[in-house]
Amino acid sequence: MATQSGTFTFSLPEDVNSDTLRIYKATTENGTYSLDVAVSYEYGELSYEFDTLDDTTWYKIQFYNSSDSEAGPESDKVYGGDFSKAAPFLAVSTSTDGANYASIKDVFEYANLTTSDATGSQVSKALKRARAVIDLRTAELDLSRFDVYEAPIARKKYNATLRILKEAEICIALGHLYRGLSDDIIMEINRDKSLQEPSVSIGSTALGDTGQQRLDNVPKLLGVSDRYLSVGAAMLEQIQPSSIRLTTVDPGTITSPRFKRPFNGWR
């Protein structure tokens, strides 16, 4: 067990009067969750620095409105061991909205992969490359582009952006992962001369292995890689501005949410 500092990143709650962020924990994913900490929350905040993150513990969050005694929906469950210092590791605050950076578990589940197909280390490296692509493509965007909308619409657009970013990151990571798997096959055969020898078949017995069967999988893996990369790129295109806004808004008339702490990748 190791305790470290982690960042919870979340979408905006539907209840603009939410004033408390609750963090729950459990020893197992489907175990009993107990309240770990409740902190003050001001609508518009997008992240919380959590100084006692346990890498053997599962977490979920929930927003609460103390004035009306109303609690929002609970977030998806996340594992503290999936935390990466390169990025926040949690970003779901309602049952339908928002997400930010994906976890290793998200990638495995999205593509129905198991650790026999790829290791956690390979997926982690692919995610880091995908995060670099996400940050590079979104660094010039600004949250103020939602200022022209009324608060409910601005919230939905912001939270939808987070969901698209997560889906795009998963797809880009899978594109790099499958390309890496195809390269592994090529390099394995290139290094092992025995796999380059012709095989001999006597009846139902095969002697030797040319590695041809594994080489036949390379185009398939590359095809899957290209498909995931193209889907990820298409998702990023959805959040890229298609035109330059020529109108201006008086700061005193802005009715959209006030974004106090832009999440990683935006200025």
pLDDT of residue 266: 36
What's the rounded Cα separation, in Å, for the pair 267 and 259? Answer: 11
pLDDT of residue 7: 77
CATH level 3 topology of 1-97: Immunoglobulin-like (2.60.40)
pLDDT of residue 201: 55
Phi, psi of 244 (to 5 degrees): -95, 125
Task: State the span(s) of the chain assigned CATH 2.60.40.10.
Answer: 1-97
What's the rounded Cα separation, in Å, for the pair 169 and 126? Answer: 10
Between 70 and 80, where is the model more confident? 70
Q: Give the pair of three-digit tokens for residue 223.
A: 């095809």
This prediction's pTM = 0.57
pLDDT over 80 (residue 197): no
pLDDT of residue 34: 96
pLDDT over 60 (residue 29): yes
What's the rounded Cα separation, in Å, for the pair 4 and 52? Answer: 6
pLDDT of residue 94: 40
pLDDT of residue 89: 47
Share of the chain above pLDDT 90, in %: 25
pLDDT of residue 143: 59
pLDDT of residue 256: 47
What's the rounded Cα separation, in Å, for the pair 132 and 27? Answer: 32
